[in-house]
Chains A and B, each alone.
Chain A
């Protein structure tokens, strides 16, 4: 049997490869998945690049950065499947929550931004800049947080400091006062809240309603060599995604993901995340935030080239490197809608007919062209209602 060793970090959004393995979807496709757990993205990436693993649950911008050779020699990676959209949150320390007037309802990004701006500028003037922890320089967490901060008039790296905090240590960093806020995936926000050291200020779905999150990444050479087996892996993950959103399956799924060899977290905490219920502050009743995590509907697993283009736009913005048309093309070519389509042709999966779209332009449910099935996209707006045209990255950046 063909085996895929898949690296992952203990996060709820590693669900699809884990469930494909545990619930028999891999076996049904004639493949075996061996999950390989690590504690840092650096280790996940090293194992992928040096063949300790065959694929990885990876932060999407890191797949692009690795292909472009940012921070290390370039190695081409390929992303044939998106493991989900959003599912992250911004959690403030209890002190910052009090200073910005967070109450028991979910905050409005613009209003909270204005309150945060006052605190941030006062702290900067006093020579004690606020410090936020993100999980990696090349993470959607970094780009989402920066997008929001800049959008409400807080200059990242000038008015506030951003540092790296690995997910399993994010709650500790808040508790120790090393950071004033974190942007991290679940269950780590909820764990910070349950420990009484933080309060969830925003979920990233409020910053970008359909933000691309973790992806399945392989070395491009591996994808080319094992194309038939990769097709089977994509079908297994797609079946796992359909199962993941079945209301009847959530309890069993939560119990599996919570196990020590996966997230090593309380079942109830995992359960909240996968049912879109969020406890904002210690002891409060969880509120329901629809589409907090988005793993299946609306062809959520389809790797849109325009998603990669948006990530590249933010990479040039925050690495402060000039836009390059050649780099933009290389970045978009990391996402492989062609491989996704080929693997799922003839199945029940919805296949968009286009490979790229305007991001953030859908304000109400919109039917779009599908080569297979029917595709209706829900609202995908950014909090500032700006849309992103992948054909005009320089124009977009000039207006930010």
Chain B
């Protein structure tokens, strides 16, 4: 069963194909979004196409599938009412799937479920990456603000940190926000004694 993956995010496409390969589905075609998609699909002749929900080429793709020029057999969208739950899960995860007509559901379902898990894993990864980046930015800001307090108020490091923390607590703000305010203030008023 040949599966084509079309995704605007190349890293997500890699994560999905890794997952499929681990599950023993090795006949995979990664479509390069920077080259004409339809020509690549025409060459690949896949039986299943996985595409991210928000892919800007979806209307073009669906029309292509409707004309059945890309595939050996007519396409039937996986969205099948008897499988409404699986399909809804897929849409919620941000993936849409197209399959050729006649492919049995028992063969398709594991592919779709795997794609859903991989999409969700990717989303979590993005969240974690975002958190990690934020944490790093926060720490840099706090360090800078501490340096400013040490220099301008003659404090040592623990005292500078305590000042930041106490001010954050008393004004109900995050320490990083207070630190950003100090950095901004320093940038604007740096020369004023």
Binding site for B on A (CB under 8 A): 38-43, 46-47, 49-52, 71-73, 135-137, 163-166, 168-169
Q: Which of B54, B56, B59, B87 contacts A136 (CB 8 A)?
A: B59
Q: Which of B53, B64, B77 contacts A43 (CB 8 A)?
A: B53
Whether A41 and B59, one on each chain, are in contact in the complex, defined by CB atoms closer than 8 angstroms, is yes
Q: Does B60 contact A (CB under 8 A)?
A: yes
CA distance A38 to B81 in the complex (A): 24
CA distance A71 to B91 in the complex (A): 17
Whether A50 and B91, one on each chain, are in contact in the complex, defined by CB atoms closer than 8 angstroms, is yes
Question: Would you call the interface of chain B mostly helix, strand, loop, or mixed?
Answer: helix
With most chain A CB atoms within 10 A of its CB, the pick from B58, B81, B88 is: B58
29 contacts between A and B (CB under 8 A): A38-B54, A40-B56, A40-B59, A42-B58, A42-B61, A42-B96, A43-B53, A43-B58, A46-B53, A46-B91, A49-B79, A50-B87, A50-B88, A51-B88, A52-B92, A71-B62, A71-B66, A72-B77, A72-B79, A73-B77, A73-B80, A135-B59, A136-B59, A164-B60, A164-B62, A164-B64, A165-B60, A166-B56, A168-B56
Q: Does B22 contact A (CB under 8 A)?
A: no
Whether A50 and B77, one on each chain, are in contact in the complex, defined by CB atoms closer than 8 angstroms, is no
- Residues of A within 8 Å of B57, CB to CB, are 40, 166
Within 8 A of A (CB), among B31-65: 53-64
Whether A164 and B63, one on each chain, are in contact in the complex, defined by CB atoms closer than 8 angstroms, is yes
- Residues of B within 8 Å of A47, CB to CB, are 91
- Residues of B within 8 Å of A168, CB to CB, are 56
A51 nearest in chain B by CB position:
B88
Residue-by-residue, is B87-113 near A (CB-CB < 8 Å gives 1, otherwise 0)?
110011000100000000000000000
- Residues of A within 8 Å of B96, CB to CB, are 42, 46
CA distance A73 to B80 in the complex (A): 6
Whether A136 and B63, one on each chain, are in contact in the complex, defined by CB atoms closer than 8 angstroms, is yes
- Residues of A within 8 Å of B79, CB to CB, are 49, 72-73
Whether B55 and A71, one on each chain, are in contact in the complex, defined by CB atoms closer than 8 angstroms, is no
CA distance A257 to B102 in the complex (A): 45
- Residues of B within 8 Å of A49, CB to CB, are 79
A72 nearest in chain B by CB position:
B77
- Residues of B within 8 Å of A40, CB to CB, are 54-59
- Residues of A within 8 Å of B56, CB to CB, are 39-40, 166, 168-169
| Least CB distance, B189 to chain A, in whole angstroms | 34
CA distance A52 to B88 in the complex (A): 10
CA distance A127 to B61 in the complex (A): 25
